[in-house]
Amino acid sequence: MTASPIDGVKSDVDLAKKAYKYRRLLQVTKIPKLGSPLHVICMMLNIFLPGIGTLVAACYSKNESKKKWNFIFGVLQLLLSVVLIGWMWSVIWGVLIFIRNRGKAGLIPDKVLEHALK
């Protein structure tokens, strides 16, 4: 039995909706919004010095809740980097910081995104 073209379109639409929802969830999590060159610097620091990029991001975050959580995450990444779990977490978090702040997504206020998810 072959799939009809309509089935393919439906699955593509579902996939697009899931990707859009994932991107919106990424924007309202604890990942801070940073300035243009700073998000790249934080990503590179997280790759080569685990946790340091997250600590720098915490210092430059304007949201107090995100500042607190990123400081905690940075310290944990630094301490856990000895057993490589912290380093992997730090690399992933650095990439997420980069994704969160690139393009127009970094310009959208957090309150607007949180309201859109409700």
Which DSSP state fits 62?
S
The label of the residue with tokens 């909706």 reads: 17
Burial 25-55 (b: 16+ CB within 10 A, else e): eebbebbbbbeeebbbbbbebbeebbbbbbb
The pTM of this model reads: 0.68
Which one-letter amino acid corresponds to residue 106? G
Do the beta carbons of residue 34 and residue 66 sit within 8 Å?
no
Sign of the dihedral defined by the CA atoms of residues 62, 66, 69, 71, in that order: negative
* Per-run averaged pLDDT (10 residues), the chain, 118 residues: 50 65 64 85 95 94 86 94 93 88 63 56
Output the pLDDT for position 86. Answer: 92
From CA 75, how far away is CA 54, in angstroms rounded? Answer: 8
Output the pLDDT for position 49. Answer: 95
